[in-house]
C-alpha cells in the first residue's frame, strides 16, 4: 500500500499487487490524474506498533506521562479510555460508535475543556504604545540569554506593557508564550489560583501542546516534583520540535507580575509556580523573562541569580 501511494504521488509505472492497491486508492478517493497525485503526495499511513500488547503498553505509558500525577489517577484514566473504546466497538455502541471529543474528555476525567487552559490572560488593550528606551537592551539580553531575565520596576510604571511589547518584538525569532499572573485582578480569587504549579505549569504546557509542539499535560496533579519534571520534558520536546521544523528559532517564556503570584501564594502558604520554575531551571540556559515590582532578592531563593533590568 505504501509503495502504491508513493507511485501515485510520483505518477510512476505500477504492476502486480502495487497496481491493485493503487486502483483501490483511486476508486475510494474518486480522484484522477494530477489531483490524485497531489492527494497521494499528502497521504501518509504510519504503523506505530506491530501488535496489540505493544499498543496497550504504549497507551498506558502515554497516559501516565500526560497525567503527570500518581499512578492511581493515571490507571483510572487508562481504564476509562479502554472501557470507552470497548463499548463503542461492541454491542453497546451499535449505531452510535463514533468517539467524540466529549467522550474522550469524560474518560480522562476532565469535566470542562477550559481545565486544560485554566489561566486565561486578561491584558488590557492600551492602544498605540510608545516604546521605552530600555527595549533594545532587553532584546539584546534575550538574544544572548544564559539565565532568566528579571524585569523590575516600581508598580504602575508600565512593566506589563513593556513585557507585551518585548514579547511582540522577539516573536520573529522565538515561539513566544506570555503568561499573565495578574489576570486582571483574578489572581486574588481562590477559584482562579493561577499562582499554583498545577494550574500555571499546565496552562503553559498545554498552550505549547495546542500549537503542536509537545504532548499535553492533564489537570488534577498535586505532585510538585512530578509536575516540574514533566513540564521540563514538555519544554525540551517543544524546543526539539521547533528546531526540527524551523531551524534557528527559539522558545521564549514571558511571565508577567510574578510578585502578585508570590503575594497570594504567601497568604495561603502555597507554592508559587514562577518561583519553583526558576529554581527548577536554575542550572539551565533558558530564555525566560519575568516582571516584578519586588526587588530581585525577594522574588527568588538566594541561590538564584537571574539577570536583572530595572528602572524608575
103 and 26 within one domain: no
116 lies in some domain: no
How many Å apart are CA 145 and CA 288, to the nearest integer? 8
Confidence of residue 98 (pLDDT cuts 50, 70, 90): confident
pLDDT at 297 over 60: no
SS3 for 153? strand
SS3 for 73? helix
SS3 for 15? coil
105 and 7 within one domain: no
Single out the residue of 265, 262, 271, 290 nearest to residue 221, CA to CA: 271
Show Cβ contacts of residue 299 under 8 Å, excluding neighbours closer than 6 positions.
Answer: 150, 258, 259, 262, 275, 290, 292
285 and 161 within one domain: yes
Among 137-151, 252-266, 289-303, the minimum mean pLDDT is found in 289-303
38 and 74 within one domain: no
CA atoms within 13 A on the CB side of 278: 27
140 lies in some domain: yes
Single out the residue of 264, 258, 197 nearest to residue 232, CA to CA: 197
Confidence of residue 299 (pLDDT cuts 50, 70, 90): very low
Assess contact for 186 and 85: CB atoms under 8 A: no
CATH code where residue 205 lies: 3.40.50.300
Show Cβ contacts of residue 122 under 8 Å, excluding neighbours closer than 6 positions.
Answer: 180, 182, 183, 184, 185, 186
Q: Cell numbers at residue 67, please?
A: 497525567
User: In this predicted model, what pLDDT tens digit does every residue of 24-71 receive, in sequence order?
Assistant: 999 999 999 999 999 999 888 776 556 777 777 777 777 777 877 666
For the chain, helix (H) and strand (E) counts, in that order, are: 12, 5
How far is it between the farthest Cα atoms of the chain?
78
Confidence of residue 134 (pLDDT cuts 50, 70, 90): confident
pLDDT at 304 over 60: no
143 and 232 within one domain: yes
> What is the domain extent for residue 94?
52-109
Assess contact for 247 and 172: CB atoms under 8 A: no
How many Å apart are CA 109 and CA 102, to the nearest integer? 11
Beta pairing partners, 308: 150
56 and 153 within one domain: no
59 and 158 within one domain: no
Assess contact for 109 and 76: CB atoms under 8 A: yes
209 lies in some domain: yes
User: In this predicted model, what pLDDT tens digit does every residue of 207-253 receive, in sequence order?
Assistant: 999 999 999 998 877 788 889 989 999 999 999 999 988 898 999 99
| pTM of the model as a whole | 0.72
Place of cell 476509562: 80
Number of domains, the chain = 3
Q: For residue 235, what are the CA distances in angstroms to 173, 204, 214, 291?
A: 17, 10, 8, 20
292 lies in some domain: yes
Please work out, in degrees rounded to the nearest 5, the angle formed at the alpha carbon of residue 212 by the alpha carbons of 56 and 198. Answer: 75
User: In this predicted model, what pLDDT tens digit does every residue of 145-166 receive, in sequence order?
Assistant: 778 888 888 888 888 899 999 9
Assess contact for 215 and 209: CB atoms under 8 A: yes
201 and 252 within one domain: yes
Amino acid at each position: 500500500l505504501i509503495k502504491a501511494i508513493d507511485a501515485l504521488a510520483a505518477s510512476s509505472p505500477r504492476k502486480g499487487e502495487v497496481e491493485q492497491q493503487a486502483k483501490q486508492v483511486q476508486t475510494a478517493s474518486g480522484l484522477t490524474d494530477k489531483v490524485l497525485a497531489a492527494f497521494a503526495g499528502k497521504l501518509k499511513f504510519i504503523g506505530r506498533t506491530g501488535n496489540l500488547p505493544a499498543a496497550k503498553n504504549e497507551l498506558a505509558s502515554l497516559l501516565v506521562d500526560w497525567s503527570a500525577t500518581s499512578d492511581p489517577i493515571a490507571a483510572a484514566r487508562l481504564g476509562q479510555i479502554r472501557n470507552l473504546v470497548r463499548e463503542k466497538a461492541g454491542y453497546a455502541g451499535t449505531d452510535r460508535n463514533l468517539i467524540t471529543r466529549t467522550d474522550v474528555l469524560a474518560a480522562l476525567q476532565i469535566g470542562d475543556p477550559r481545565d486544560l487552559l485554566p489561566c486565561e490572560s486578561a491584558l488590557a488593550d492600551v492602544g498605540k504604545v510608545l516604546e521605552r528606551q530600555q527595549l533594545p537592551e532587553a532584546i539584546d539580553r534575550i538574544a544572548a540569554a544564559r539565565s532568566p531575565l528579571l524585569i523590575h520596576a516600581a508598580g504602575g510604571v508600565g512593566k506589563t506593557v513593556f513585557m507585551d511589547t518585548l514579547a511582540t518584538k522577539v516573536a520573529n525569532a522565538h515561539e513566544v508564550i506570555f503568561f499573565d499572573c495578574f489576570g486582571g485582578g483574578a489572581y486574588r480569587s481562590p477559584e482562579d489560583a493561577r499562582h499554583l504549579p498545577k494550574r500555571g505549569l499546565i496552562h503553559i504546557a498545554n498552550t505549547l501542546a495546542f500549537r503542536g509542539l509537545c504532548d499535553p499535560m492533564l489537570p488534577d496533579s498535586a505532585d510538585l516534583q512530578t509536575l516540574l519534571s514533566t513540564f521540563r520534558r514538555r519544554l525540551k520536546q517543544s524546543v526539539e520540535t521547533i528546531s526540527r521544523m524551523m531551524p534557528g528559532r527559539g522558545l521564549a517564556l514571558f511571565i508577567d507580575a510574578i510578585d502578585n503570584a508570590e503575594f497570594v501564594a504567601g497568604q495561603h502558604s502555597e507554592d508559587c509556580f514562577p518561583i519553583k520554575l526558576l529554581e527548577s531551571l536554575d542550572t539551565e540556559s533558558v530564555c525566560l523573562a519575568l516582571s516584578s515590582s519586588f526587588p530581585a532578592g525577594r522574588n527568588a531563593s538566594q541561590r538564584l541569580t537571574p539577570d536583572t533590568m530595572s528602572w524608575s
